[in-house]
């Protein structure tokens, strides 16, 4: 069409919209440009090297001068003759391989075949330790107070080993009656709280592999609140009454162990229609003491009061979460510094990829070869983005297993991560670096000067990551929500649980956004930078 | 020497960039301090906060601009090729570096004094309304208070030392972007690394890294719990600045322009 | 290559308060070398940047091969430009510089080696650009301009920093390109550099065209059909010639300067009147003089051969 018009020789009005060049050749040209400057390739290599090096330093510095491997058998962390602090306490693993808390007091007896257990919980009270965090809790220094997730109820388990499968129906401190099984599953019972004036009736039945929980306010009308099949449940299981009381947090950092006491009345065990052996009760403290990671206030115990049983217990039966209890080491927890260091180098490489063209007026040659400037910017963005992605992915692929290995060798507990999670972290790191590289490239196009672009790039896209320690209060949470630092949320790998009252704060290793939301926030920043750059490039003379 | 000094001064003052960067230093320093003061509130436990240090938080960001100013003073000469003219005018290269250092120090002093004074005013006006007032056992931010005077003067000195450190690094590296990246990395990454480590490694790093050590001068309370005392901390930064100038100067002398 | 033209129409451009281009209008046609001359600051480089789509004009437009530069799909196949030969990244080799340019136009590396050979840089092109002399940079810039074998070639001050040998080579190259029917625009602030190669001149000053004409026309105009008559009788000569309608000026006792009458008419008039004369000399101005005359006085002159009226720009 254009050719026909040219043939007529009529002068045409110049169009403002430049014709779109086909992308392939421009991309190839920018790639040739990038790979033929050795300093940039060296920059990529340095970025990768620093990432791995700093990750190593952080992982290795978590437990300096410690012994490696698990502690020798029989010697606890505080046992005499061992000044070895390494070797984390035992963390039980649940049926699905996840870390769990499994510490409680259990009054149980073995039971064979199908059965129905019923009990009335008539009271639930508690105390909270008042000792500072670094002093061993003692039963004498406590104040009254019931943890929200203090639990008292009926539990069935194939074994009393920590981490074994279970199902339980229970009254809680302030979450009403619940049906829970295998640590992660939870469903509520009838509305309303259990109080001294309105006791709750609980019932758990076993039929083959199937366990069912019931809730009642009067012991006459029962409501089923949950059921499950525990595959492979042996014929003889332990059934009984349990009490647990989890750590209570006053603020983000300070948790205190608690102890709850519950009164169970009218306990009945109906087995094959007959009455259970009421005197076969056996009291047992599960996962209590210095070997277990979960902080408890004493070992608990029980006594009989007339027809009633009074149990006290400390601990929790729930998913394992968080730093306060376990140390926040995950597959990703050693990565941030290496990531930031690598990012810093990438910022320099990426800005100079465009600012040196301005410095040398090479940009005119570039725009003469490809008049559509947005295409040039896009090609540059793709080149630098892909280069950054690949380099960051490689660094992460090295750094993640390396840091995990070192942390474990240093005796730290590392939250187990599925292969999928590890791949997500790796892709997240790579995406974060790639997207940031594109953003600072856009900055370079806007500012044209290396000094300005590198500084603004570092201040806007790298500095927020480092501000965590400078800011007070909850300001840092917003930092990781709104600023480009939100990208770091892709590193979030600590488990959360809706039925564990834990401060899921940044200070405890929990990022405020989900990984992909974090990347989305970062991408929004990049989109702004790219948009402004494309606009400015088009409007401005080269 | 005075000629070189004069020449460098003319070079610096005739660039509008210089003045914009100095204004940016003061503005950013104040902006961050105002934001910090606004975000501060008395924690439940009270105590533990350092009003002077809080009001001087802006230095954390303001120093980035000083880094740019110092780096540009030498790297721009290389990127434009002007260094050849400069060195043919002042063949004694160490004199040249000294002249640059003196001019930078002077300009940073001015920006530093303005920024720090502004920060203290911000702290004096804003912090008492946040609860950091005598009623809660906090002294008002005042220059007549010995440790506060030390923190204020020390912060200005800190900025000057950062400028000199940057000048040395830029003289050695010569490239604008790489120099700025390297210096900001050295400054900002060290504290993050320290935070990730456990004691005593962490403490050692905070004692020798330029920013944590240098900014120790801003502490006015709880001196015992700081990893390094104020003056020795500033001394560590001085050592960094001198070492960087020494290496930069040596390379400047030995290398072809 | 009939399409190989550059049309600049009424281009105006201000940088802040200073007008850089003030209604620049001219056309470069194929098959000849068009010199683009003017003193420093006349707007030559800005015009070239506008032609190449680097700067946007405030008013008017520039077309290359009948299209706005930004409309060209692979522009280096249409226009080769040498704008700033120093614009190289120091740490990249000359060959790699050409390579990325070639890739951007979907050309193969073999074309790069061909132009490198054409400009005689086979060895230097493998070295990093850091150590290039001005001459090498210039040759590399020319290589870049020739990369796409374009019908239109634009060169901004191509002789800068070239040694005499290089200048001769360059002139031959440009002449042969013009002979192939390409349109060639060469800017320079020295008229002397263009004297032997340009067929056509566009003289600019203060952002607009002062003269747009063939070299012959320009010279003739500047000479102002002035004729010098050597005669032992200057007063008589002057009287006779003024009678024939010429303007005369007696320079000394042997010389009369005549204008407004062609040489053969002068001879005829003097012979008829019987006034003795020994010599009739037609004055030819040097190109350099034309240039100085034009640029100092800013007189506007246009040859008849070219189009491009000012009226189009001012609407």
pLDDT in tens, C149-164: 999 999 988 887 778 8
Is residue A196 within 8 Å of residue A187, measured between CB atoms?
A: no
Query: Both tokens of residue C46?
Result: 């800005």
Largest pairwise CA distance in chain B: 64
Query: Both tokens of residue B154?
Result: 């020390």
On chain C, the residues whose CB falls within 8 A of the CB of A32 are: 96, 99-100, 103
Distance of CA B27 to the CA centre of its chain: 15
* B45 and A CB contact within 8 Å: no
Helix (H, G, I), strand (E, B) or coil at A365: helix
* A352 and B CB contact within 8 Å: yes
Dihedral pair phi/psi, residue A110, rounded to 5°: -70, 150
Least confident of A526-530, B44-48, C193-197: B44-48
Least confident of A138-142, A401-405, B132-136, C214-218: B132-136
**Which pLDDT score is estimated for A83?**
43
Q: Do A360 and C61 touch (CB under 8 A)?
A: no
Query: Both tokens of residue C132?
Result: 């290039």
- For residue A222, give the H/E element and its range: none
On chain A, the residues whose CB falls within 8 A of the CB of B76 are: 451
The whole-angstrom separation of Cα A350 and Cα A328 is 33
Query: Both tokens of residue A288?
Result: 């209590």
The residue written with tokens 């001459």 in the block is: C135
∠ at Cα C185 (C182, C187), nearest 5°?
160
The stretch B159-188 carries a mean pLDDT of 94
* A475 and C CB contact within 8 Å: no
Per-residue pLDDT of B212-244, as tens digits, reads 999 999 888 777 778 888 899 999 999 999 999
Is residue C141 within 8 Å of residue C82, measured between CB atoms?
A: yes
Helix (H, G, I), strand (E, B) or coil at C72: coil
Query: Both tokens of residue B233?
Result: 């901390």
In this complex, how many residue pairs, one in chain A and one in chain C, have their CB atoms less than 8 Å apart? Answer: 129
Distance from the A483 Cα atom to the nearest Cα atom in chain B, whole angstroms: 15
**Which pLDDT score is estimated for A17?**
55
Dihedral in degrees, nearest 10, Cα atoms B55, B57, B62, B64 = 170
Decide the pairing of beta strands A200-207 and C301-302.
Answer: unpaired
The whole-angstrom separation of Cα B12 and Cα C61 is 41
* A317 and B CB contact within 8 Å: no
Write the DSSP symbol of residue C67. B
Q: Is pLDDT of C298 > 70?
A: no
The whole-angstrom separation of Cα C91 and Cα A352 is 13
Q: How many residues does chain A have?
A: 542
On chain B, the residues whose CB falls within 8 A of the CB of A336 are: 192, 196
Does residue A302 or residue C286 have the better pLDDT? A302
Which among A200, A192, A206, A240 has a CA at the least distance from the CA of A219?
A: A200
C61 → chain A, closest CA residue: A14
Which of C54, C70, C93 is the closest to A372 by Cβ?
C70
The whole-angstrom separation of Cα B68 and Cα B88 is 25
- Those chains having 3 or more beta-carbon pairs within 8 angstroms of chain C are A
**Which pLDDT score is estimated for A134?**
56
Which among A294, A321, A318 has a CA at the least distance from the CA of A185?
A: A318
Q: Do A64 and B191 touch (CB under 8 A)?
A: no
- Those chains having 3 or more beta-carbon pairs within 8 angstroms of chain B are A
Q: What is the pLDDT along chain A (542 residues), one digit of tens a residue?
A: 334 343 444 444 444 555 556 888 899 999 999 999 988 999 999 999 999 999 998 888 775 333 333 334 443 333 333 444 456 778 888 888 888 888 899 998 888 888 899 999 998 999 988 876 556 677 778 888 888 899 999 999 998 888 889 999 999 988 989 999 998 899 998 887 777 788 889 999 998 889 999 999 888 899 999 999 988 888 888 899 999 999 888 776 678 888 999 999 888 887 654 445 556 788 888 887 666 788 888 888 888 888 889 999 998 998 888 755 556 688 888 888 899 899 999 999 999 999 988 888 888 888 888 888 888 999 999 999 999 999 999 999 999 999 989 888 887 888 888 888 889 999 999 999 999 999 999 999 999 888 889 988 888 888 887 776 666 556 677 778 888 888 888 888 888 888 888 888 777 778 888 888 989 999 999 999 999 999 998 888 87
What separation in angstroms does the CA of C228 have from each of C243, C251, C297? 17, 9, 24
Does residue B43 or residue A419 have the better pLDDT? A419
Which of B64, B79, B184 is the closest to A359 by Cβ?
B79
Out of A506-515, B177-186, C82-91, the most confident range is B177-186
Least confident of A232-246, C75-89, C110-124: C75-89
Per-residue pLDDT of C163-191, as tens digits, reads 888 888 888 888 888 889 999 999 987 77
Dihedral pair phi/psi, residue C232, rounded to 5°: -75, -10
Q: Is pLDDT of C215 > 50?
A: yes
* A356 and C CB contact within 8 Å: yes
What is the ipTM, given to two decimal places? 0.84
Helix (H, G, I), strand (E, B) or coil at B220: coil
Q: Alpha helices, DSSP H only, in A284-372?
A: 323-326, 335-359, 362-369
The stretch C252-279 carries a mean pLDDT of 85
Distance from the C274 Cα atom to the nearest Cα atom in chain A, whole angstroms: 57
On chain A, the residues whose CB falls within 8 A of the CB of B16 are: none
What separation in angstroms does the CA of B47 have from each of A534, B41, B216? 51, 12, 19
Residue C100: pLDDT band (50, 70, 90) is: confident
- Those chains having 3 or more beta-carbon pairs within 8 angstroms of chain A are B, C
* C106 and A CB contact within 8 Å: yes
């Amino acid at each position: 069409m254009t050719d026909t018009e040219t043939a007529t020789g009529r002068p045409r009005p110049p169009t403002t919209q430049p014709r779109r060049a086909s992308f392939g050749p421009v991309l190839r040209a920018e790639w040739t440009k990038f790979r033929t400057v050795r300093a940039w390739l060296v920059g990529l290599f340095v970025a990768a090297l620093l990432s791995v090096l700093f990750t190593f330093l952080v992982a290795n510095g978590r437990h300096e001068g410690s012994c490696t491997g698990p502690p020798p058998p029989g010697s606890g962390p505080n046992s005499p003759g061992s000044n070895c602090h390494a070797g984390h306490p035992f963390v039980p693993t649940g049926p699905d391989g996840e870390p769990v808390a499994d510490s409680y007091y259990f009054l149980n007896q073995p039971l064979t075949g199908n059965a129905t257990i019923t009990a009335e919980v008539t009271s639930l009270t508690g105390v909270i330790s008042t000792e500072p965090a670094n002093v061993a809790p003692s039963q004498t220094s406590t104040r009254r107070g019931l943890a929200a997730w203090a639990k008292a109820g009926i539990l069935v388990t194939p074994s009393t080993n920590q981490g074994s499968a279970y199902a339980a129906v229970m009254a809680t401190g302030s979450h009403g009656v619940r049906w829970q099984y295998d640590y992660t599953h939870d469903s509520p019972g009838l509305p309303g709280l259990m109080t001294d004036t309105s006791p709750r009736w609980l019932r758990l039945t076993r039929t083959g592999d199937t366990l069912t929980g019931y809730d009642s306010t009067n012991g006459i009308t029962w409501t089923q609140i949950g059921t499950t099949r525990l595959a492979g449940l042996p014929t003889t299981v332990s059934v009984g009454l349990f009490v647990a009381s989890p750590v209570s947090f006053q603020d983000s950092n300070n948790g205190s162990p608690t102890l709850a006491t519950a009164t169970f009345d009218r306990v009945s065990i109906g087995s094959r229609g007959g009455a259970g052996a009421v005197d076969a009760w056996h009291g047992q403290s599960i996962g209590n003491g210095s070997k277990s990671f979960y902080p408890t206030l004493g070992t608990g115990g029980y006594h009989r009061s007339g027809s009633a049983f009074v149990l006290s217990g400390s601990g929790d039966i729930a998913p394992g979460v968080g730093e306060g209890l376990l140390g926040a080491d995950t597959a990703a927890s050693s990565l941030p510094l290496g990531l930031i260091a690598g990012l810093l180098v990438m910022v320099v490489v990426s800005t100079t990829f465009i600012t040196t063209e301005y410095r040398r007026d090479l940009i005119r040659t570039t725009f003469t070869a490809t008049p559509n400037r947005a295409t040039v910017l896009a090609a540059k963005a793709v080149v630098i983005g892909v280069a950054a992605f690949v380099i960051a992915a490689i660094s992460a692929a090295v750094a993640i297993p390396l840091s995990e290995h070192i942390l474990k060798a240093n005796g730290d507990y590392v939250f187990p991560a599925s292969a999928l999670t590890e791949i997500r972290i790796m892709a997240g790191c790579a995406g974060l670096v790639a997207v940031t590289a594109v953003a600072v490239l856009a900055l370079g196009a806007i500012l044209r000067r290396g000094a300005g672009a590198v500084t603004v790039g570092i201040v806007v896209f790298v500095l927020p990551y480092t501000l965590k320690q400078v800011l007070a209060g909850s300001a840092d949470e917003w930092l990781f929500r709104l600023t480009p630092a939100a990208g770091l949320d892709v590193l979030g790998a600590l488990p959360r649980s809706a039925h564990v009252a834990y401060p899921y704060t940044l200070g405890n290793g929990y990022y405020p956004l989900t990984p992909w939301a974090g990347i989305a926030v970062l991408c929004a920043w990049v989109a702004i930078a790219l948009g402004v750059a494309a606009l400015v490039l088009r409007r401005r003379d080269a | 020497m005075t000629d070189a000094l004069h020449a460098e001064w003319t070079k610096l003052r005739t660039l509008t960039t210089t003045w914009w960067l100095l204004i940016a230093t003061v503005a950013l320093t104040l902006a961050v301090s105002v934001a910090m003061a606004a975000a501060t509130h008395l924690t439940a436990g009270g105590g533990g906060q350092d009003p002077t240090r809080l009001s001087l938080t802006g230095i954390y960001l303001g120093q980035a601009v000083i880094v740019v100013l110092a780096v540009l003073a030498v790297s721009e000469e290389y990127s434009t090729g002007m260094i050849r003219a400069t060195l043919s005018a002042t063949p004694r290269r160490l004199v040249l570096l000294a002249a640059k250092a003196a001019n930078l120090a002077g300009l940073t002093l001015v920006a530093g004094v303005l920024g720090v004074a502004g920060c203290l005013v911000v702290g004096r006006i804003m912090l008492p309304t946040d609860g950091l007032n005598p009623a809660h056992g906090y002294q008002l931010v005042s220059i007549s208070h010995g440790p506060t005077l030390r923190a204020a003067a020390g912060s200005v000195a800190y900025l000057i030392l950062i400028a000199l450190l940057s000048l040395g690094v830029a003289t050695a590296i010569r490239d604008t972007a790489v120099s700025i990246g390297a210096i900001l990395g050295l400054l900002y990454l060290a504290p993050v690394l320290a935070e990730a480590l456990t004691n005593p490694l962490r403490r050692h790093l905070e004692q020798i890294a330029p920013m944590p050590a240098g900014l120790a001068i801003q502490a006015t309370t709880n001196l015992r719990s700081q990893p390094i005392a104020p003056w020795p901390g500033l001394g560590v930064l001085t050592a960094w600045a001198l070492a960087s100038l020494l290496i930069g100067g040596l390379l400047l002398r030995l290398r072809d322009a | 290559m009939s399409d190989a033209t550059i049309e600049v129409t009424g281009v105006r451009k201000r940088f802040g308060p200073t007008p850089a281009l003030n209604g620049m209008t001219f056309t470069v046609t194929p098959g000849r070398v068009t010199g683009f001359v003017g003193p420093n600051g006349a707007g030559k480089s800005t015009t070239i940047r506008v032609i190449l789509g680097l700067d946007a004009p405030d008013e008017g437009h520039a077309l290359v091969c009948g299209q706005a530069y930004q409309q060209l799909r692979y522009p280096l196949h249409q226009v080769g430009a040498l704008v700033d030969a120093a614009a190289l990244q120091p740490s990249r080799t000359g060959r790699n510089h050409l390579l990325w340019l070639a890739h951007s136009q979907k050309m193969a590396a073999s074309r790069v080696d061909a132009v490198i050979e054409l400009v005689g840089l086979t060895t230097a092109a493998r070295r990093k650009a850091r150590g290039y002399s001005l001459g090498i940079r210039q040759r590399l810039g020319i290589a870049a301009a020739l990369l796409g074998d374009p019908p239109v070639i634009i060169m901004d001050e191509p002789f800068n920093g070239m040694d005499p040998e290089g200048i001769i080579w360059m002139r031959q190259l440009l002449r042969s390109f013009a002979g192939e029917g390409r349109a060639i625009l060469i800017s320079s602030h020295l008229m002397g550099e263009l004297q032997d190669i340009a067929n056509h001149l566009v003289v600019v000053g203060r952002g607009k065209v002062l003269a747009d004409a063939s070299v012959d026309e320009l010279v003739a105009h500047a000479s102002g059909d002035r004729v010098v008559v050597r005669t032992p009788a200057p007063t008589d000569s002057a009287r006779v010639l003024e009678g024939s309608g010429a303007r005369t000026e007696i320079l000394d006792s042997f010389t009369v300067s005549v204008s407004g009458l062609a040489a053969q008419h002068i001879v005829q008039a003097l012979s008829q009147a019987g006034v003795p004369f020994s010599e009739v000399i037609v004055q030819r101005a040097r190109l350099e003089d034309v240039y100085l005359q034009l640029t100092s006085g800013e007189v506007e002159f246009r040859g008849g051969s070219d189009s491009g009226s000012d009226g189009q720009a001012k609407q």
